[in-house]
Structure 1
């Protein structure tokens, strides 16, 4: 059930923090959204610049005639501003939004420093300056997929990590059987939930919320797999007789939720 890589960081105060790394899928989704938003900014600039440069050239042509050098200068300035918009988009949002851009916010991921502290202007600038290299030559994908900490080149240079935001545990929005509620007390005594991570809990919750829409055969197979994996994660020797896979998963869900609320 370990679908995501986790990393433990030690702060300067010797406090250990554990995070779930964002993963290539979440980062690609966030980047796609960011490029769409950035594209809107760029489109607005190009339209404004085209109107401004055209009018400027017309005025100067009336005064001094055609000036080829001025046209080249305007193109160079346009390219320079485009690069600043590209870099500045990520720098401004990541600095002001505590490591998030619009895409990262929708994907529920954020950038932090290697010591667990929020990203600062210097780190964000370094990441953004190296983004063209990571994106154009696909070095970022190579480093993220093969690296243990899923860092692209910009992350290595800036000393940053991209993590998932920890989501609060929400109450269930699905029916829970009486058998599961009865089993909860036994699980809290016999099972060890210290090995269950938030993403393990999230997988169970996702299944319980979506099971009603599944076809019976798929629901039965998936519930058996999840029940078996959950039994191993919580180090439970034996599931009580007469308890179905769905009832067991409901009980695990409730037991983990209650134990977490008592910490």
Structure 2
């Protein structure tokens, strides 16, 4: 079994990102945590549903209603709600928490698309719906162990990967200009840096780490492209005067790290 398997992904901005795959250990621990939380939720639901059903049947029994089929209907409705809770748990958290559930957040792993972007509703829902098949006879475990990208069936169908969460190398040896550092101080007041996702930060960090090895023309084109996209993303009308694209990206990098503490 491989440990710390890594994968390189090419983003739509033509920047290659390298991620460490989550591994079977982290994924199993995350799933156990999620299943314990989910079990508590489902137990609570069944207790409340049982109380509701008994009350309803008692009410029907006191009248002249024909409720012979009511218990079967109540059971069918309960099973349907149980399914939606099970599927909805993973779908809700992975969409709202950018690829993480409580278990994944605890183990510091998360789900991303094959191109490094955050997953959406369709990917999260598809992974959740196929989870029972992956859990059956540990089918998903065999796919994870035998595949180079450590994907279960739900990941193959949804086009996703489970990776170790990247916090950003806070002490990375990057050259940050004095002008960029000054701009980074004012940037949170000028724009909404909360719109930046970890993947956006990873793209900026990767560019800043690799820009020295790039061809000058390719570097200029890429930095301008990234700067325009980030400016739009954080709601900044214009890049401050006398600020190059590289300096703006450095400022975004610096400001985001301060924002994350």
Give the shorter-chain TM-score range: 0.5 to 0.7
Shift of 1:100: 0.2
CA distance in 2, matches of 1:149, 1:166: 17
1:107-166 per-residue CA deviation (whole Å, 9 max, x = no partner) reads 000000001000100000000000000012311001000000000000000000000012
**Residue correspondences, number:** 170
1:20-44 per-residue CA deviation (whole Å, 9 max, x = no partner) reads 0000000000000000111111111
CA distance in 1, matches of 2:17, 2:146: 23
* Higher Rg of the two aligned structures: 1
Tell me how large the CA RMSD over aligned residues is: 1.6
- Given that 2:22 and 2:163 are in contact with CA atoms closer than 8 Å, whether structure 1 keeps it comes out as yes
Match of 2:157 in 1: 157
CA distance in 2, matches of 1:137, 1:68: 38
Match of 1:84 in 2: 84
Match of 2:132 in 1: 132
- Given that 2:11 and 2:116 are in contact with CA atoms closer than 8 Å, whether structure 1 keeps it comes out as yes
- Report which stretch shifted further, 136-145 or 97-106: 136-145
Shift of 1:170: 7.8
**2:111 partner SS:** strand
Q: Is residue 1 of structure 2 the alignment partner of residue 7 of structure 1? A: no
Q: Is residue 52 of structure 2 the alignment partner of residue 56 of structure 1? A: no
**2:4 partner SS:** coil
- Given that 2:3 and 2:23 are in contact with CA atoms closer than 8 Å, whether structure 1 keeps it comes out as no
CA distance in 1, matches of 2:120, 2:44: 28
CA distance in 2, matches of 1:130, 1:57: 35
CA distance in 2, matches of 1:64, 1:122: 47
Listed as ranges, the gaps of 5+ residues in structure 2 are 172-261
Alignment of 1:30-179 (within 5 A): 30-65=30-65, 67-167=67-167
TM-score in terms of structure 2 length? 0.63
CA distance in 1, matches of 2:155, 2:76: 30
CA distance in 1, matches of 2:124, 2:143: 18
CA distance in 2, matches of 1:146, 1:24: 11
- Report which stretch shifted further, 59-68 or 84-93: 59-68
**2:112 partner SS:** strand
Listed as ranges, the gaps of 5+ residues in structure 1 are 172-263
